[in-house]
Structure 1
């Protein structure tokens, strides 16, 4: 079908039993008024009738999957929806606790590379008259922005509107795709080649710790923390929502010229500081977060189009206003640097950082010797601004479920939706004990900023 881009192939090369590289989302829905006990079962019966799939949901690695399949896509014409779409029920009492545990287990399992790389779980029996959807898609197929576009396209913006599941192909899309690399693919590869030299040079400076050496906005390398250790394949997931206006108001009170994303990073900074202090593990130097930055064009809806900004979180500072000011300065510096680079340079730089992470995990002992480039990934993905519906059921929240990695055992990702910031935290069960307490620390951190 076509070559896999360098950025996308990294997520296939990096994957192992200990390092699943799929992303996901847990969507919480309120049952419509007067819905009967068969509502979710009927919804399952309905979505499984959509057997004409978008190309993204028919892709799988070419055979043999452990070699050629890491550089070349093939496409299945006959996809077994009964494998990909699951109807499940929570054990009673069906609290959010049970739901998060279900998603934690499902997110720990690898996707089958002999089939298209996605799953869709309908989960009934959530308390307070609710049900949930957990969907996962391999990161080689889509980044966070592309995934959010898929989610939005599968829901209706009115309570009585109609919608089709995220894998369903619109009637106007051609049935067959070209089997050879398109001119656009060839052009993209040429851009990667041209960008390789400058991107490698930039990453070399980061690895050597020379970037930001004289700039307090970005001290490098990052300190070693309890998160920068080898991880297992078992995951824990926690999630909660905060009103966007509350977060914005906290930033206005601080008066640092902060964006919503800056204040979110400051929430994470305070929470990480409090968590590490509780484990007597706060380093003297500030933590550094890798912050994904989208360079996606408006008309693209698949693959990965991201770079990374490195942000000084100021976790060594006890004053929340000082931490926020440090974050604002660091992110402004990173944005100014990216403004001088092409999209291909930004993407290849991101792929280089991901490849370095892969090398760290693949070669025993390297991770304990090489200083980490970043301590964790913190991401903020723009989502729908208005409420969305699935067969009349209102989506109450849309929590991202992302990827921890070897020597980056914790990931914090937020998605904006209908006036809230829905935050999902994913970590290795072994490396990040008591991960759910990070939710309490996030609330404490926001209150401290207020």
Structure 2
């Protein structure tokens, strides 16, 4: 038996028709010179001549016979023509049509009777381009790991062919072996002993928190500098959501943000948060919905090793709450408050062990849970934070290719929750920062306008 971890189980238990729990991404490619039927040939290659990594063969099991355990089993008959699909973009094939299609694809649930992932090859993008949209359930993998897997399908060699699809990457080892007990029997005594032993180690590690460290861990959730996590202002983002999604994306030169960093002394991540802060302030002000109190953002912090080890699946995240200072009109004062908030949050996390950080991360994600799962609660109670903003490490500062097609941009598409209707995810590649915005189509009106406000906000920071 391969049990589903506690944080991973949260994504399974919290899923509803309105609240899909998968993460995804849109990759934009340039067709090779002289290519004909390139995308359809790629589709044929990856569906007929490639095998499936065991991670992408997992499907979820939850039966009374298993004593209430959520566990993974291997699907021995994977239908790749179901999981991998070829689509043509509606004319004229602008980014507007591409984002509309991505919005619809991201708003549909994955079939739990099958392994929880899909891959869509999309041809017909203007400018001799095509796109690949992929999604995978968050219980299987976190955003950082998903991006690392995508990176492993790419090469710096523009002439190389035969590159695998993400689901066909070689087995990286850890946690990818087919689970025991595929016959559906009860957990063995050894498995139960290991589970209890794991719980004992967890309790021991949590007990290892000194009183000061434990109070610091609680403060990491309760407040960051001047922002109080459980007293974030009520905004239009913290309302009930529908099942429909809207996706928007755009890239900005990294050089622009690096210049702001050098002037302000902030980190690149702080500059990105300040860019989002100014955009959110202008967007809400335009709608007449800007609260007097500053917004806060939950910022996931990856606990993965820098060398990428431990990519076997599941989630490994801590969290901090960042003050976005949207109540501050002056962009310089705004970024100073953001820097003070994230500096404090990181100092708190540095006091904890990796396992303690993981538990704090689960609790940080879980505090949004009541509004997400209790009907009628979203919008009626103060949100723990107003939105999630993720900065996922990118693959390379040099151009990369997939089967002779140059990668032009990669845009994350994450999760929105009941009461958390907007998510901003960012990654870096080829000297650019790539923003992927996902929001509830009903709750967050005119989401695409945030792209204009992001550009305006960056221009304001450049004038500091």
Q: TM-score, normalised by structure 2?
A: 0.89
Instruction: Select 1:398's aligned residue among 386, 407, 410.
Output: 410
Alignment of 1:7-26 (within 5 A): 7-26=7-26
After the TM superposition, which of the residue ranges 215-224 and 56-65 deviates more from structure 2?
A: 215-224
The question of 1:280 aligning with 2:292 is answered no
Deviation at 1:138, TM superposition (A): 0.5
Conserved in 1, the CA contact under 8 Å of 2:217 and 2:348? Answer: no
The question of 1:136 aligning with 2:135 is answered yes
- State the match for 1:389 in structure 2: 401
Alpha-carbon separation, structure 2, partners of 1:184 and 1:277? 54
Alpha-carbon separation, structure 1, partners of 2:137 and 2:394? 19
After the TM superposition, which of the residue ranges 407-416 and 172-181 deviates more from structure 2?
A: 172-181
Q: TM-score, normalised by structure 1?
A: 0.92
- State the match for 1:48 in structure 2: 47
Alpha-carbon separation, structure 1, partners of 2:370 and 2:229? 23
- State the match for 2:241 in structure 1: 231
After the TM superposition, which of the residue ranges 110-119 and 71-80 deviates more from structure 2?
A: 71-80
Alpha-carbon separation, structure 1, partners of 2:251 and 2:32? 21
Alpha-carbon separation, structure 2, partners of 1:195 and 1:283? 40
The question of 1:267 aligning with 2:268 is answered no
After the TM superposition, which of the residue ranges 424-433 and 44-53 deviates more from structure 2?
A: 44-53
Alpha-carbon separation, structure 2, partners of 1:281 and 1:22? 29
Deviation at 1:23, TM superposition (A): 0.4
- RMSD over equivalenced CA pairs, Å: 2.6
Alpha-carbon separation, structure 1, partners of 2:197 and 2:26? 36
- Cα 1:106–1:191 change in 2 (3 A) is farther
- State the match for 2:72 in structure 1: 73
- Cα 1:77–1:93 change in 2 (3 A) is same
- State the match for 2:186 in structure 1: none
Alpha-carbon separation, structure 2, partners of 1:185 and 1:266? 43
Alpha-carbon separation, structure 2, partners of 1:141 and 1:165? 17
- Cα 1:68–1:284 change in 2 (3 A) is farther
- State the match for 2:81 in structure 1: 82
Alpha-carbon separation, structure 1, partners of 2:172 and 2:444? 47
- State the match for 1:339 in structure 2: 350
Conserved in 2, the CA contact under 8 Å of 1:400 and 1:424? Answer: yes
Deviation at 1:372, TM superposition (A): 1.0
Alpha-carbon separation, structure 2, partners of 1:446 and 1:12? 37
Secondary structure in 2 matching 1:366: coil
Alpha-carbon separation, structure 2, partners of 1:158 and 1:184? 45
Secondary structure in 1 matching 2:357: helix
Deviation at 1:192, TM superposition (A): 3.8
Alpha-carbon separation, structure 2, partners of 1:39 and 1:184? 50
- Cα 1:186–1:303 change in 2 (3 A) is farther
Deviation at 1:223, TM superposition (A): 0.9
For residues 29-72 of structure 1, what are the alpha-carbon distances to aligned partners after superposition, in whole Å with 9 as ceiling and x for unaligned? 00001111x1110000011124421121011111549x978721
Deviation at 1:336, TM superposition (A): 0.2
Alpha-carbon separation, structure 2, partners of 1:46 and 1:81? 11
Conserved in 2, the CA contact under 8 Å of 1:90 and 1:123? Answer: yes
- Cα 1:252–1:184 change in 2 (3 A) is farther
The question of 1:165 aligning with 2:165 is answered yes
- Cα 1:148–1:219 change in 2 (3 A) is closer
- State the match for 2:261 in structure 1: 251
- State the match for 2:61 in structure 1: 62
* Unpaired runs of at least 5, structure 2: 182-190
Alpha-carbon separation, structure 2, partners of 1:400 and 1:136? 10
- Cα 1:68–1:135 change in 2 (3 A) is farther
Deviation at 1:169, TM superposition (A): 4.1
Secondary structure in 2 matching 1:137: strand
- State the match for 2:185 in structure 1: none
For residues 383-439 of structure 1, what are the alpha-carbon distances to aligned partners after superposition, in whole Å with 9 as ceiling and x for unaligned? 111221111000100000111111110000001111111100000011100000000
Alpha-carbon separation, structure 1, partners of 2:294 and 2:278? 11
After the TM superposition, which of the residue ranges 44-53 and 315-324 deviates more from structure 2?
A: 44-53
* Unpaired runs of at least 5, structure 1: none
Alignment of 1:156-195 (within 5 A): 156-162=155-161, 163-170=163-170, 177-179=178-180, 189-194=199-204
- Cα 1:252–1:367 change in 2 (3 A) is same
* Aligned residue pairs, count: 443
After the TM superposition, which of the residue ranges 340-349 and 234-243 deviates more from structure 2?
A: 340-349
The question of 1:366 aligning with 2:377 is answered yes
- Cα 1:376–1:417 change in 2 (3 A) is same
- Cα 1:239–1:139 change in 2 (3 A) is same
